[in-house]
Amino acid sequence: MPSPLLHIKSLTKRFGGVVAVDHMSFEIPDGSLTAIIGPNGCGKSTLFNLICGAERPQKGQILFEGADITTAKPEDICKMGIGRKFQNPSVFDEMTVLENLRLPALRLQNAPTSAEMLSLIGLTDRAADQAGSLSHGEKQWLEIAMVLMQRPKLLLLDEPTAGMTVAETRKTADIIKTLNREDGMTIMVIEHDVRFIELLECPVMVLAGGEILKSGSFTDISNDDEVRELYFGRRREVKHA
């Protein structure tokens, strides 16, 4: 059986007395698409911070392509092939769309062409426009494309549809599924919008209190009584060490 692209082993992260990630373990197969949902404070963004090296765990191990990256520097993790898009777009407003795309690939060989990325995100006709003139959704797509210019092996997307319209949300789901199904890119997506998660048609992990509460298909998760209670009823309290 092939090794997973990403292997999380008993990962634990505390902030003072608060347990953000609690002995979490899971595997992400190469070429997979995985959605992560859960209420605020359940450990979703902390998990991404640990994978990217922005935070260090107190316990546990992170393996990427079999290599231990638990204590690696963020820049080294990026070079190894883990790319992340943060929740709020951080494009350079005064630069053109094309200039924004070219910037991440300046020091890379065999980067995707700008034309490929513009076509993927549907901004070919906006290439010469200043990024500041784009809508919020278009800026989100541009930043996804900027991360893709680095040819990541694992793409981490933190709430990519935050602030989007219904139409923009659907297009974002289409972009992600294209990357996964046609290009074989391994993708992990954090989201609150369960309608968007349904559009992705992928396995879902539900986090609560720093732990994996449930894993399964969207249908299984959405029909689970404990998950329903988490989202629509009484939520789990924050854990304290």
**What is the distance between the alpha carbons of residues 169 and 84, in angstroms, rounded to a whole number?**
19
Tens of pLDDT, residue by residue, the chain (241 residues): 567 999 999 999 999 989 999 999 999 999 999 999 998 888 999 999 999 999 999 999 999 999 999 999 999 999 999 999 987 778 999 999 999 999 988 777 778 899 999 999 999 999 999 999 999 999 999 999 999 999 999 999 999 998 899 999 999 999 999 999 999 999 999 998 889 999 999 999 999 999 999 999 999 998 999 888 877 554 444 455 5
> How far is residue 225's CA from residue 237's CA, in Å, rounded to a whole number?
18
> For the whole model, what pTM was predicted?
0.92
Please name which of 152, 154, 142 lies closest in space to residue 102, comparing C-alpha atoms: 142
- Show me where the domains of the chain are located: 95-150
